Amino acid sequence: MDPELPASSPAMSTAGGTDGAPERRLVFAFYLTGHGFGHATRAIEVVRHLIAAGHEVHVSTAVPEFVFTAELRSPGLHVRKVLLDCGAVQSDPLTVDPLASLEKVQYHQTAVVPRESILRTEAEWLRSVKADLVVSDVVPVVCRAAADAGIRSVCIGNFSWDSIYAEYIMAAGYPHRSIVWQIAEDYSNCETLLRLPGYCPMPAFRDVTDVPLVVRGLRKSRSEVRKDLGIAESTKVVIFNFGGQPAGWKLKQEWLPDGWICLVCGASDSQEVPPNFIKLEKDTYTPDVMAASDCMLGKIGYGTASEALAYKLPFVFVRRDYFNEEPFLRNLLEHHQSSIEMIRRDFLAGHWKPYLLRALTLQPSYDGPTNGGQVAARILQDIAVGKKCASDKFNGARRLQDAIVLGYQLQRTPGKDVGIPDWYSLNGTEIGAHPIIENTEKIKTAESCCEDFEILHGDLQGLTDTMAFLKSLSGLTGNELKDSEVQSRERTAASVLFDWEKYANFCLCSEVPF
């Protein structure tokens, strides 16, 4: 068995469509954002399968090299340290500074000021390593650099930085909006987006291919992990997982229910913890510890959310402001009965007990696929050898939906919650979320749409997403709001995007990307 490929992972088809030795050794240039380790841990799973198929991968990132070499030991892996984006400025795990993120401290100085130099340097480097394909999670500028070098590019992720920074602009001021426009333009150069479950609106991408959850596999059993930590099987365990940002929180013994143990991730060497808290080693393999715990307390990010879903771990989360990714991942967790929210003031005051006890009553229900690393690697391999990726035939409707949901999200009051329409993030494209619409429903929807709209050219045959979207638009003209208050706000926000006086009952729909 290949030591780089977990026993639970089936062998991957190699270039040319057959198993075994690849027809040609491909070279992948994989760029990773410097924001946290979450992007790196999911990228490792994709890289693992590419290397197992006999290919060469050059990883370019600001994330420390040991994060990759500790997981993958192969002559086919090369790690290059480079900083091309910075993500968000956080003073602690829950607090983002929108202005600093956009301005001097972060993106402007990192990727805007030296832009021409970055484009020139990266294009030359890509040619020098003879890259067959550029993969980005989700560094914007490299999509343009790849285009300049004449190399195709693909992005992978559940969010993009233009959608994150768009909210920052609402708080930091419109003078920074050119940053978002530039990021969106950079993303438009990539061939497709491999979109992960829990995605947020990403209208900048011309094409989308949905893939399953990318999740790290387990190495040890629950009993093995508990034995290593000296914890009895009957003891209730919560894992404390708030990422790598320093917080300075002073944890107290009475915050836990009697008899519980808390495993603390990312604690500093100098941080003191009570006797019922255990500091985990920095090289601890987090998925094993999560699967050996009874619940998790932390902030929502793709890594924590995806692995909580995969291992059916109840997730007690504390919200963070100014991060557009969170509501969509939260929606996915809640849909699968996997999470409850701890109010921030209760978290900071140590009122944890009722939330932790309630978490034990949850019955997480996610049973969708978790082989996204393997699926993504196969798609990347096919694109690298010139195979056409299955196109999103609902592309135009999808991008319009993304734009509307993002616009609706940005109109909310800062710090307030926003309802996400069920037809958006929990539709048929969210893998494992809902069954495909039956033919009878398609026919009814088509007939209803034809009543509300005049089709000037073509028909709606096969465009189920477009049909449903047109039907939703038709409701914006009426004054009767029969649904919930949340939907009323949604419709009100969406309606301001359309000039119904001028374009009443007229809509141009096309499969051509706009």
pLDDT over threshold 80, residue 482: no
pLDDT over threshold 70, residue 355: yes
State the pLDDT confidence band at 513, using cuts at 50, 70 and 90: very low
State the pLDDT confidence band at 420, using cuts at 50, 70 and 90: confident
Cβ atoms < 10 Å from Cβ of 502: 7
CA dihedral 459, 461, 466, 472 (to 10 degrees): 80
The pLDDT assigned to 255 comes to: 98
For residues 206-217, average pLDDT: 95
pLDDT over threshold 80, residue 423: no
**374 or 179: which carries more pLDDT confidence?**
374
pLDDT over threshold 90, residue 244: no
State the pLDDT confidence band at 494, using cuts at 50, 70 and 90: low
Report DSSP state, residue 390. P
pLDDT in tens, 276-295: 999 999 889 999 999 999 99
Block residue for tokens 């749409």:
449
Q: Do 72 and 51 form a contact (C-beta atoms < 8 A)?
A: yes
For residues 344-350, average pLDDT: 95
Structure tokens at 200: 């947020």
For residues 210-228, average pLDDT: 97
Which of 26-30, 270-274, 306-310, 418-422 is least confident? 418-422
pLDDT over threshold 90, residue 235: yes
The pLDDT assigned to 400 comes to: 79
**pLDDT above 90 coverage of the chain, percent:** 53
**Top mean-pLDDT range of 28-32, 407-411, 488-492:** 28-32
**112 or 506: which carries more pLDDT confidence?**
112
For residues 72-89, average pLDDT: 91
For residues 149-170, average pLDDT: 90
Q: Do 159 and 137 form a contact (C-beta atoms < 8 A)?
A: no
What is the Cα gyration radius of the chain? 23
Block residue for tokens 């941080």:
271
pLDDT over threshold 50, residue 81: yes
- What pTM was estimated for this model as a whole? 0.79
Task: Give the span between the Cα atoms of 189 and 201, in whole angstroms.
Answer: 18
pLDDT over threshold 90, residue 297: yes
Domains and CATH numbers, the chain: 27-214+371-392 (3.40.50.2000), 222-359 (3.40.50.2000), 397-503 (no CATH)
pLDDT over threshold 60, residue 208: yes
pLDDT in tens, 18-27: 344 457 899 9
For residues 327-343, average pLDDT: 95
pLDDT in tens, 391-410: 556 677 788 788 878 877 77
The pLDDT assigned to 489 comes to: 57
pLDDT over threshold 50, residue 466: yes
pLDDT over threshold 90, residue 320: no
State the pLDDT confidence band at 176, using cuts at 50, 70 and 90: confident
Q: Do 291 and 239 form a contact (C-beta atoms < 8 A)?
A: no
| β-strand pairing of 95-96 with 90-92 | antiparallel
Cα angle for residues 399, 401, 403 (degrees, 5° grid) = 70
- The dihedral of CA 350, 354, 360, 364: what is its sign? negative
**149 or 486: which carries more pLDDT confidence?**
149
State the pLDDT confidence band at 95, using cuts at 50, 70 and 90: confident
448 SS3 class:
helix
**13 or 161: which carries more pLDDT confidence?**
161
The pLDDT assigned to 100 comes to: 73
The pLDDT assigned to 78 comes to: 97
Task: Give the span between the Cα atoms of 218 and 228, in whole angstroms.
Answer: 15
Residues linked to residue 134 through DSSP beta bridges, in sequence order: 29, 153
